[in-house]
Structure 1
Amino acid sequence: MQFDPPLRPARLIARYKRFLADVITPEGETLTIHCANTGAMTGCATPGDTVWYSTSTSATRKYPHSWELTETQQGHWICVNTLRANQLVREALTLNTIPELSAYSHCQPEVKYGTEKSRIDFLLQAEGRSNCYIEVKSVTLLHLGKGYFPDAVTTRGQKHLRELSTIVAEGHRAVLLFAVLHTGIEDVSPARHIDVQYAELLEQAQRCGVEVLAYRAQISPLQILLTHPINVAL
C-alpha cells in the first residue's frame, strides 16, 4: 500500500479527546489532526515522537489531516491508523502474499455471520474448498520487548473469538490474523495482563481449530507492506 502523495512529518504535542492530536510542523505551524485510532495507543503517542500525516482533499472535512504513522524516539515505526490493517490484508490476499490463505478465487469483505450478529472482515471462497472466515486484528502494543493484543479490554474481540470457534464447529475454516504494525515487535502474545478473558478465549479458540497467524509490516512514509510471518506465542 503506497501513500500518494507521501506523508508529511510533524512533532507530536499531545493526543486528546481520543480522535484529535496537536502537532507542530518543521515550519513551526501548529496543526490539529484527526486520529482514527480510538484505542489506548500505549507507546504510540508519546509527546516528542514524529507523526507522519496524510491530507484529504475533501472540502467537507473539519480536520483534513489524518495521523497515519508514528516514528518513535527509539527508532520504531508504527501504523496507528487502524483502518489500514484491513486494507493491507486485502492487498496481501489479492496478491497471494500470505501463503496460508492463497488459492481462493473469491474474497468478500464485511460479511454478516454468526449467532452474535457479527461481521467477518473477509470471507474467502473457492470451488471444492471450505469457506474461510478471516478476522483481522491490528497489533501495535510493545511491552518489554514483546508484542501484545489487545491494548485494552475488548468485549468485541471476545465476541469475535466465540464466533470463530462456532464457525469451525460448523465445518468451515476460521483464521485470526494479527497484522503487526509495529516494527519493534518480533512475536505476538495475548495480553493476559490487560484482558484475561480474551487470552483465555484465544487459547480455547485455537484448541477448537481456529488458526492464529501473525504477519509483520514493513513501514515507511512511502508505503506499508505485510512482509513476513512472525511467531504467535499463546
Structure 2
Amino acid sequence: MPCDNNGKDKVILEIEGDNEGIFVERPNRFISIVEINGQKEYAHVHDPGRLRELLYPGNEVLLKKYEGGIRKTKWEILAAKKDSKWIFVNSKFHRQISEIILKNERLSPIGVIEDLHPEVKVGKSRIDFLAIRDGKKVWIEIKGCTLERNGVALFPDAPTERGKRHVEELLNMKKMGDDAVIIFLIFVNASCFRPNYETDEKFSRALYKAMEHGVSVYPLLLNYDGRAIKFEKPLQLCREQEIETENEGDHSKNYN
C-alpha cells in the first residue's frame, strides 16, 4: 500500500557537511567557485539542473570535503540556503536515498517488494530500478526536485530531453504489461507538486500522457538539516487552482 505520514521525521540517510561557504559563480554545469574562510575554491556540482534560485552569487552553501583519489576538486556542494533552510542539491545520493525508502515498508509508495535491481537498461535508457512486486515487474525512475514557487514543487528546472525519454520508456513498459512508477524526491518546502510546463512543455506533456495510461507518480517530501535526510510525507499533485504561472527568479547567468 502507498506510504502515509507514519514515517514522518524518519532518518533516511546521514550526510553531514564539512564546511560552509559562499557561492561565487558556476563556470560550467559541473564546476562552481565558492569562498571558504576567505579563500576561493573549486567545488563540484553534482546536479544537472540550473539551480538558479539556489546557486547564485552570495548565497550560503554547505560543502563536503573529499581527499585523495583522482578528483579535480576536493569540495562538493551538498546543499544551498533558501529561507534559512538547507536545500539538498546533490543528486549523487538520490539512488541511495530512494533505495532505502523503497525497501522500507512504512515509507515505500509501492508497498512491499520482493527484489530490487538498480540501473536496468530499457530501450535507449537506463531506468533507476527494476522491482519485483507480487511476482510482477515494476520499473521505477527517480527524479530530484529542488525548485519551488509559491508553495508548489516543480520539475524540471531546465529542459530535459533525457527525462522525457525516461518517461516515454516507462510508458512503453506499462503498455507491455509491466507496472511503471516515477518517484520525485522533493527537497523544497512545498504543499503540492506539478511538472514545470513553463520550462519544459515536452516533458510535462509526456508525464501527463504517461499518467493517463497508468504510470504512477509519487512526489515524496524530504527534509535536510545539514546532517541527515529525513522523510516528511507524500505530496499530492497540484489542483488547477493551486497552479501558479509566475516567472521564476533568475539569479545567475544562463547556460546550456
Q: Same fold (TM over 0.5)?
A: yes
Residue equivalent to 1:160: 166
Q: For 1:186 and 1:17, how far apart are their aligned partners in 2?
A: 32
Matches within 5 A, 1:84-233: 84-114=93-123, 117-126=124-133, 128-182=134-188, 184-233=189-238
Deviations 1:72-94 (A, max 9, x none): 2x223211112222221012123
TM-superposed CA distance for 1:186, in Å, is: 2.4
Residue 28 (structure 2) pairs with residue 23 (structure 1)? no
* Inter-partner Cα distance in structure 2 for 1:209 and 1:156: 21
- Of the structure 1 ranges 53-62 and 158-167, higher mean CA displacement relative to structure 2 is found in 53-62
TM-score by length of 1: 0.90
DSSP-derived class of the 2:185 partner: strand
Instruction: Give the superposition deviation at 1:163.
Output: 1.1
Listed one character per residue, the Cα deviations across residues 44-94 of structure 1 (whole Å, up to 9, x for unaligned) are 11222211011113332221110011112x223211112222221012123
In structure 1, what is the Cα distance between the partners aligned to 2:93 and 2:106?
A: 17
Q: Aligned letter for 1:32?
A: Y
Task: Give the one of 50, 53, 56 matched to 1:43.
Answer: 53
C-alpha RMSD of the superposition: 1.7
CA deviations 1:26-57 (Å, max 9, x no partner) are x3232221111232112111222211011113
Distance in 2 of aligned mates of 1:186 and 1:8? 31
In structure 2, C-alpha distance between the alignment counterparts of 1:171 and 1:135, rounded to whole Å: 17
Question: What corresponds to 2:84 in structure 1?
Answer: 75
State the Cα distance separating 1:95 from its structure 2 match.
2.8
Q: Is the 8 A contact 1:104 1:124 kept in 2?
A: yes
Q: Give yes or no for contact 1:130–1:171 (8 Å, CA) kept in 2.
A: no
Residues 142-194 of structure 1, C-alpha deviations (whole Å, 9 max, x = no match): 22332111111111111111111111111111001101122x22221111111
**TM-score, normalised on structure 2?**
0.83
Return 5+ residue gaps in structure 1 as ranges.
Answer: none
The reply on whether 1:63 has 2:73 as its aligned counterpart is yes
Stretches of structure 2 that go unaligned for 5 or more consecutive residues are 1-12, 240-256
Contact 1:174 1:211 in 2 (8 A): yes
Letter in 1 for 2:75: H
CA drift at 1:200: 1.2
CA contact (8 A) 1:88 1:226 kept: no
Check conservation: 2:224, 2:230, Cα contact below 8 A.
Answer: yes
User: Which residue in the other structure is 1:14 paired with?
Assistant: 25
After TM superposition, where is structure 1 displaced by more than 3 Å over at least 4 residues in a row?
Answer: none
- Where 2:109 maps in the other structure, the secondary structure is helix
User: Hey, what does 2:15 align to over in structure 1?
Assistant: 3
Cα distance in 1 for partners of 2:191, 2:56 equals: 21
Q: Is the 8 A contact 2:85 2:225 kept in 1?
A: no
Which protein, 1 or 2, shows the higher relative CO under an 8 Å CA cutoff with sep ≥ 6? 2
